[in-house]
Chains A and B, each alone.
Chain A
Amino acid sequence: MSAVTVQGSVLRVLRVVVIVAFVLATVLPFVYMLSLSFVRIDDLLREPLRVLPALDRITTETYREVLASEEDGGYGFARFMRNSAVVAVSASALTVALVVPASYALTRLRFAGRTQISWLFLAVYLFPTIIIAVPVFVGFQVLGLGSSLVGLVIAYVALTVPVSVHMLRNYLAGIPESIDEAAVIDGASRFQILTRITVPLAMPTIMSTALYSFMIAWNEFLFALLFLSAKQDLWTVSLGLTRLADGQEVSKTVLMAGSVLLTVPIVILYGIAERALTEGLTAGADKG
């Protein structure tokens, strides 16, 4: 047999093995999470190997406990989820409102400082978030925004704006400028071009930008930790989960239910918009 056929058949088998291994490696931790969230803690301690609970031992008490408010003997995740939702929706709406005009200007208009601003947006990634977080926190304290969801939203907008501008700008650069020019000849103003032409054309990418910033804001942890640690009623889901996991008193399977509640919204959104999101992020990557 020639080297070509040997390698060919080895690689064919290997490919199947590799695909199966990858799928298992990505999915199993999530299966583990979901499954443990229905397990009673004493069952887990007795039999850690039993990942899937016996049918008659399945419990949904974990979810009741984690969602219920503190007065009802729970851990208040319903409130945390509301906080996270408020923060993430506001951050993503604000990001879009800021990013659409900016990306339009960066692709269509020649103005002083255009290249410098593009560089600025890239340069911010050279610095760890941690050194940004502390001065922002101190500054917000002075302004009275320190321990509030408003402050957190502003911080998240700043964090997601640079990548969002990049995503949207790549897309807008692909829309022919002749459409704009035609509109100018028809007497449209800059504002009309932006709202009547650019926004509708770029809607899919705008949606994926919104989704991207929603996910960043929903998942974020460090700023929430610095801003809101002392205010339990304002905790986001991410912060609540870590704070409660630090202690010994909350059972791990109850917190697994909390992890599921933290993960499910993201997985649903991602499932709806997977294609738009991945295409938005890799835009321009295949052009080399």
Chain B
Amino acid sequence: MASKLRGFENRDGITLVAPVTLVVAAIIVVPIVWTVVLSFQDARYVDVARNGLFNEVTLENYANVLTAPAFWQSLLTTVEYSVATTVGSITVGLVAALAFRDRFRFRAPLRAVMLLPYVAPVVATTFVWQVALNPQYGVVNAIGTQMLGWEHPVNFLASAPTALLTVIVYDIWRYFPFAFLFLGAALTGLSREIEEAAVVDGATPLQKFWFVVLPQLLPTVALLVLFRMVMAFNEFEDVYLLTGGAAGTQVASVRVFEQLTGSSDIGGASATAAVMAVFLGVALAFYLRLTARQREA
């Protein structure tokens, strides 16, 4: 009897999960596998249309990817961009979460407002930033030249060092609410007793933060770092919409996009994507090892 129920459980479980799994498999897993296969072929759109998956096998794509200086440059850009936005958005989110920790008037509505950059459509917010930063009619340059005495308007999104910096600032603006949300939830979960004990022992507010609050937040921070790093490493829309990958902002996924749409080099694009995924996988494994002790504690 028990084993019969167990059998049904197995059957029912698989039936209920099957549709979701099929969709994810068809739309996500199969394309990923396909990408890996294509990365070993010298394939352009015409070849894929004619021969499907069965083109000549070659390692040429990988050789091309690994010997192209532009690839290493875009890898470096991706790493700089990911680290800067991750550290920036989490730090800013933490400051915001601490400022919002104690009750004040309008805390709930203001907290909701703070999440707007994260929930608003990326196309709309990047467009607003583009207009605001425009050298001819943007408000930022108008303030700079008319009130702050800049000699020339700055073309934030089209010249080399500022473009990447601007994209990073934009993404800190867009993603700090995410860290704010999670760190805020973690802060509410903390018991106040330990902090009160520290205060009784004469800890200053900064000591209390550094020695009592922060260590308790570290598991959440570690999780956020992981999450944000993966997302930032694969980020496409924000960079593409703001700069189109110009002026030193060609992160890896924008490069993949350009290989696909510009030169329709599917094999090369797939190889670039595969190398990036391996790189990310190695970095993640390293990070998980590094934080393993902390997560067990």
Q: Which residues of A contact B (CB under 8 A)?
A: 3-4, 7-8, 11, 15, 18-19, 22-23, 25-27, 29-30, 32-33, 36, 44-45, 48-49, 51, 98-99, 101-102, 104-106, 109-114, 117, 120-121, 124-136, 138-139, 154-155, 157-159, 161-162, 165, 190, 215, 218-219, 221-222, 237-238, 241-242, 245, 252, 255-256, 259-260, 262-263, 266-267, 270-271, 274, 278, 281-282, 285-288
Contact = CB atoms under 8 A, between A and B. Distances in A.
Given A32-B132, A45-B136, A111-B14, A27 B204 contact: no
A167 B44 CA distance: 40
Contact of B181 (A117, A237, A282): A282
Interface in B226-245: 230-231, 233-234, 236-237, 241
A76 to B, nearest CB: 16
A155 B24 CA distance: 9
B160 interface: no
B29 A113 contact: no
Given A22-B99, A32-B139, A271-B112, A117 B21 contact: yes
Contact of A158 (B28, B112, B202): B28
A6 B24 CA distance: 56
Contacts of A136: 27, 31
Interface string B13-25: 1101101110110
Given A26-B114, A285-B182, A128 B253 contact: yes
Contact of B110 (A23, A101, A110): A23
A266 B137 contact: no
A110 B9 contact: yes
Contacts of A241: 123-124, 127
B290 interface: no
Interface residues of B, number: 97
A270 B182 CA distance: 17
Contacts of B182: 282, 285
Contacts, number: 269
Interface centre among A48, A124, A129 (most CB of B within 10 A): A48
B16 A102 contact: yes
Contact of B121 (A112, A117, A238): A238
Contacts of A124: 24, 28-29, 32
B143 A49 contact: yes
A135 B205 contact: no
A132 B27 contact: yes
Contacts of B84: none
B54 to A, nearest CB: 15
Given A102-B17, A105-B16, 20 more contacts: A18-B96, A19-B100, A26-B177, A32-B128, A104-B16, A105-B13, A111-B10, A112-B10, A128-B273, A130-B260, A131-B269, A136-B31, A154-B23, A161-B23, A219-B123, A245-B130, A267-B116, A282-B185, A285-B220, A286-B185
Contact of B17 (A3, A106, A267): A106
Contacts of A267: 116, 119-120
Contacts of A25: 173
A107 to B, nearest CB: 11
Contacts of A113: 14, 17
B246 interface: no
26 contacts: A3-B204, A11-B205, A23-B114, A29-B117, A29-B128, A32-B132, A48-B136, A51-B139, A98-B23, A102-B17, A111-B10, A125-B230, A135-B35, A136-B27, A154-B23, A155-B27, A158-B27, A161-B20, A241-B123, A241-B124, A242-B127, A270-B115, A271-B112, A282-B185, A285-B182, A286-B189
A8 B234 CA distance: 42
A171 B188 CA distance: 19
